[in-house]
């Protein structure tokens, strides 16, 4: 995406808002104007009927009913990241209407012969954000040479709010006049930021290199970079990505993200979440041989806790466990983390 | 490769034997018959003139001069893993003569239009061992469910002898009547074993999954699996691959490999090799949340030490540092490691 706000239609059939993490992330943190959401199960409602924290827009049943727009963004993904054929009409209508189409699926729209031919004819772009740049290569171990201070969000598990925490930290830092920038590593983050390498999709040998490349690209233009972490260093499937980001980013400070009450790795229930101090030790000792760093603060996702009082108590416990300040940047704000990162 | 020994010509132009790790690895540990080496700089010599530990064969200048064969194997790789156009004649001659061609390059022979057309016409196979199986996916965290005991070689750096140690351990175990098998993870290991996933080339999200898939495939058919490790957990570029193998393999025992006297990460000289006990702690504490394990023995590459006495002294120091038995499986033998793995 460019710097000019564009008019975006977000496809989220059957999943808006609770199972549409990409759609809601782009709506909440992106800079583009959302002109409609496509969800045939909620056609006729408005976004404001579902979620108070998102910009309001009409929800319609198909692209044919959407208002004028520049972009159709696929805001959901089936398990496995395939393309759901029931979306084909919407994508074709969008191309016909001169819209670019942005997707973060494992299935690449630009390699679909039908879409590719139509897009060429209409002169629009099919942008698969999960398609890695073919020029990526191995890390050189030089991310620490940029002028900016580098912070990285790390986690006890997947889906604990690392992207959200990173975006909230950047926003809070910017409000204080710090020249902070977000470094995206996943498809939603890339859609929000409008650039970035999909780290979970690159060749494994290039994992650290793909992070380093982004830091070298923008590091000298900012004072604080907040790199979006992925997975967890104790995750049975995704730890390789986590480790590559940890070493590639060469972060000066880590922010440990966790979900209040989660006790096992999501989807891998036989693997317990370890005690918080173990994560602190493990991330620090693993980072150290490449670039010394420490966990300076924590973000706790308290969305499932019933009220602010319970959330405050959970934050106190979490803060004690990690030995530093902690906040829920969504329920409260990211101020304490910014204090720790930029004292 | 199949189980029947085939007649193999190994291409190693300009690099045989010292800069031809794949060629010499396949010659030393593979089960196929090596009928010739191609090295135009040594044409007319014999393998026995260069290296006493490899099966003897003539060295010739081109495929046209090679004896009858079933396979041409590309046994060297330029930096970056590209295809050297000066090899094109040899590959075409091989195809013309009805040979399969096996390569571990980043450049895929099977996607070269000229080679692909010729191979189709001749009915031969172009086998790119570094091309990952498109069906790979994320790990389930179940490698420990196979019947075999799982050992993994880990290292202080790249190119310290993890593949060689793994192969020597398997051989020594088999000599004692243990049903041991090698699980390859890199292109040379795959060429030697004739199967396997190129872990450094898979999608980063599938790193652990690609190791798990191999273990599930053969784990119930053997008593001891020795998984070939890659890189080092302190490597600024390749640690993601190392971490994914560590968690995907769910090893019962680790064997720490090191090169005597190496003080910095090869090619990354500003990153020192850490004290050996740090590697023991780091590998064990990182593995533990997914599968508890320990470093039970070490392999030290003493090839650069002048004599056995110096090597023995270095082994004593290494053994003290890691707190377990250590050997150089090439200079001496892998017996002590097998003792530790299979007491």
Bridge-based pairing of strands A268-272 and A264-265 is: antiparallel
Say which range, A104-108, A239-243, A297-301, B272-276, has the weakest mean pLDDT: A104-108
- Which residue in B207, B271, B286 is closest to A286 by CB distance? B286
Confidence of residue A287 (pLDDT cuts 50, 70, 90): very high
Peptide bond into A194 cis (omega under 30): no
Q: pLDDT tens across A203-215, in order?
A: 999 999 999 999 9
Query: What's the whole-model pTM score?
Result: 0.95
Chain mean pLDDT for chain B: 96
Listed in sequence order, the DSSP H helices in chain A are 21-29, 47-50, 88-96, 113-122, 162-175, 187-193, 207-218, 239-249, 276-287, 308-322, 335-341
Q: How far is B10 from chain A (nearest CA, A)?
A: 26
Q: Which residues of chain B are within 8 Å of residue A139 when distances are taken between CB atoms?
A: 236-237
Peptide bond into A336 cis (omega under 30): no
A213 touches B: beta carbon within 8 Å: no
Residue to test with chain A: of B137, B156, B205, most A Cβ within 10 A: B205
Q: Which residues of chain A are within 8 Å of residue B229 when distances are taken between CB atoms?
A: none
In this structure, what DSSP letter does residue A256 have? E
Specify the pLDDT at position B3. 54
B139 touches A: beta carbon within 8 Å: yes
Q: pLDDT tens across B237-260, in order?
A: 999 999 999 999 999 999 999 999
Q: Which residues of chain B are within 8 Å of residue A138 when distances are taken between CB atoms?
A: 237-238
In degrees rounded to 5, what are phi and psi of residue B208? -65, -40
Residue A4 has pLDDT above 90, yes or no: no
Confidence of residue A2 (pLDDT cuts 50, 70, 90): very low
Q: How far is B38 from chain A (nearest CA, A)?
A: 30
Please report where in the chains the tokens 């191979």 appear, as a residue.
B119
Specify the pLDDT at position B174. 97
- Nearest one of A259, A261, A262 to A271, comparing CA atoms: A262
Which tokens hold the place of B147? 């019947």
- Nearest one of B253, B249, B250 to B173, comparing CA atoms: B253
Q: How far is B140 from chain A (nearest CA, A)?
A: 7
Q: Which residues of chain B are within 8 Å of residue A233 when distances are taken between CB atoms?
A: 243, 286, 289
Q: pLDDT tens across A235-271, in order?
A: 999 999 999 999 999 999 999 999 999 999 999 999 9
Residue A154 has pLDDT above 90, yes or no: yes
Contact yes or no for B203 and A202 at CB 8 A: yes
B208 touches A: beta carbon within 8 Å: yes
| Cα gap A238→A158, rounded to integer Å | 8
Torsion A271-A277-A282-A283 (CA) sign: positive
- Which residue in A201, A270, A282 is closest to B203 by CB distance? A201
Residue in chain B closest to A290 (alpha carbons) equals B236
What percent of chain B has a predicted confidence (pLDDT) above 70?
99
| Cα gap A256→A244, rounded to integer Å | 17
Contact yes or no for B289 and A204 at CB 8 A: no
Residue B102 has pLDDT above 60, yes or no: yes
A276 touches B: beta carbon within 8 Å: no
Please report where in the chains the tokens 């090295």 appear, as a residue.
B39
Contact yes or no for B237 and A138 at CB 8 A: yes
Across A336-342, average pLDDT? 97
| Cα gap A36→B191, rounded to integer Å | 54
Specify the pLDDT at position A3. 54
Specify the pLDDT at position B81. 79
Specify the pLDDT at position B10. 98
Bridge-based pairing of strands B33-38 and B7-11 is: parallel
Residue B205 has pLDDT above 50, yes or no: yes
Domains of chain B, earliest start first: 7-128 (3.40.50.720), 143-341 (3.40.50.300)
Q: How far is B238 from chain A (nearest CA, A)?
A: 6
Say which range, A2-11, A27-36, B134-143, B190-199, has the weakest mean pLDDT: A2-11
Torsion A231-A233-A236-A240 (CA) sign: positive
- Nearest one of A256, A229, A262 to A325, comparing CA atoms: A256
Q: Which residues of chain B are within 8 Å of residue A241 when distances are taken between CB atoms?
A: 204-205, 207, 240
Specify the pLDDT at position B80. 73
Listed in sequence order, the DSSP H helices in chain B are 21-29, 47-50, 88-96, 113-122, 162-175, 187-193, 207-218, 239-249, 276-287, 308-322, 335-341
Residue B2 has pLDDT above 60, yes or no: no
- Which residue in A234, A244, A289 is closest to B240 by CB distance? A244
Q: Which residues of chain B are within 8 Å of residue A271 when distances are taken between CB atoms?
A: 141, 289-290
Across B202-228, average pLDDT? 98
Contact yes or no for A286 and B237 at CB 8 A: no
Residue B229 CB-density burial (10 A; 0-12 exposed, 13-18 middle, 19+ buried): buried
Using DSSP, how many helices (H) and how many strands (E) does chain B show?
A: 11, 14
CB atoms within 10 A of CB B28: 16
Specify the pLDDT at position A151. 98
CB atoms within 10 A of CB A343: 6
- Which residue in B244, B278, B290 is closest to A271 by CB distance? B290
Q: Which residues contact A192 (CB under 8 A, 6 or more apart)?
A: A25, A26, A29, A30, A167, A182, A184
- Nearest one of B207, B201, B233 to A230, comparing CA atoms: B207
Q: Which residues contact B221 (CB under 8 A, 6 or more apart)?
A: B181
């Amino acid at each position: 995406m460019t710097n000019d706000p564009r008019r975006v239609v977000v496809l989220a059939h059957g999943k808006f808002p609770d199972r549409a993490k990409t759609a809601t992330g782009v709506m909440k943190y992106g800079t583009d104007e959302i002109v409609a959401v496509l969800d045939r199960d909620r056609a006729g409602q408005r976004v404001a009927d579902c979620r108070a924290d998102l910009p309001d827009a009409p929800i319609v049943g198909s692209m044919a009913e959407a208002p004028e727009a520049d972009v159709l963004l696929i805001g959901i993904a089936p398990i496995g990241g395939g393309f759901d054929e029931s979306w084909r009409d919407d994508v074709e209508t969008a191309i016909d209407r001169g819209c670019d189409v942005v997707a973060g699926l494992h299935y690449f729209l630009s390699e679909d012969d039908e879409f590719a031919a139509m897009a060429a004819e209409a002169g629009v772009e099919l942008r698969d954000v999960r398609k890695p740049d073919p020029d990526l290569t191995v890390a050189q171990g030089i991310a620490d040479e940029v002028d900016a201070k580098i912070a990285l969000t790390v986690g006890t598990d997947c889906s604990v709010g690392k992207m959200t925490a990173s975006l909230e930290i950047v926003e809070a830092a910017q409000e204080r006049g710090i020249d902070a920038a977000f470094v995206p590593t996943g498809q939603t983050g890339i859609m929000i930021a409008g650039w970035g390498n999909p780290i979970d999709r690159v060749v494994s040998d290039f994992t650290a290199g793909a992070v380093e490349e982004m830091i070298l690209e923008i590091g000298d233009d900012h004072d604080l970079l907040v790199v979006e972490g992925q997975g967890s260093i104790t995750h049975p499937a995704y730890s390789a990505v986590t480790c590559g980001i940890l070493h590639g980013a060469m972060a000066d400070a880590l922010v440990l993200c966790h979900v209040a009450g989660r006790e096992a790795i999501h989807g891998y229930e036989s693997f317990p979440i370890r005690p918080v101090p173990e994560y602190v030790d493990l991330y620090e000792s693993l980072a150290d041989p490449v670039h010394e760093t420490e966990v300076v603060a924590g973000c706790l996702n308290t969305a499932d806790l019933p009220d602010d009082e319970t959330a405050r108590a959970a934050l106190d416990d979490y803060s004690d466990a990690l030995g530093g300040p902690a906040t829920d940047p969504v329920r409260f704000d990211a101020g304490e983390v910014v204090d720790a990162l930029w004292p």
